[in-house]
Amino acid sequence: MQNVYLTGFMGVGKTTIGQAVAQKLDVSVIDTDFMVESSTNMLIKDIFEKYGENYFRDLETKILTVLPSKDVIVTTGGGIVTRQENMEWMKENGCVIFLYADPEVIWNRLENDTTRPLIQQRKKEEVLGLFGNRLLFYKQAHITLDTTDLSLDEAVEAVHKAIKTWNNRQH
């Protein structure tokens, strides 16, 4: 199987959905945030605080290129798409799926989050603005799935189906 890269804004459910889909397909799942944290032995919020966003983006970009190049579902950090080289890498190495959800729904999930540095001390309008700015990047994905009205199970099923269709087209 070609790799699958799940992209989308913070709080859309990439990690949870990716894990469930990987189980269904009996393949491995790797989370780029987890890899960044385990390779540095630091939490993402501490990396941002100590070294800044750009440093985190460098780590994220590096991680992407050293992951296995097939048979893996890669769940990505929400900002990985902002570096064009990352988007190109993902598109060359597999199927990029953008998990969309209505920004209002996303905000409700993120409002009280304490782990994501880009949410801290930001007003709702600012986070929604970031979402808007990112859309242009996310939309470069091969496939867009709107998960706004889907339950977790339905979202998992939609991603599963999209991957199967993608794989059939590759043969």
- Could you give the CA distance from residue 156 to residue 171 in angstroms, rounded to a whole number? 23
**Contact positions with ligand S3P (CB under 6 A) in 9-28:** 10, 14-15
Answer for which of 13, 18, 79, 103 binds ligand S3P (CB under 6 A) is 79
Q: How far is the CB of 60 from ligand S3P (least distance, A)?
A: 7
Q: How far is the CB of 123 from ligand S3P (least distance, A)?
A: 16
In sequence order, which residues have a C-beta less than 8 Å from that of residue 43 and are 6 or more positions away? 37, 115
Is 57 annotated as ligand-binding?
A: yes
- Could you give the CA distance from residue 153 to residue 157 in angstroms, rounded to a whole number? 6
First-to-last alpha carbon distance for the chain, in angstroms, is 10
3-state SS assignment for residue 9: coil
Stretch that binds ligand S3P, among 20-28, 77-85, 89-97, 157-165 (CB under 6 A): 77-85
**Contact positions with ligand S3P (CB under 6 A) in 44-63:** 44
Is 15 annotated as ligand-binding?
A: yes
Length of the chain: 171
* Positions that interact with ligand S3P (CB under 6 A): 10, 14-15, 33, 44, 77-79, 116-118
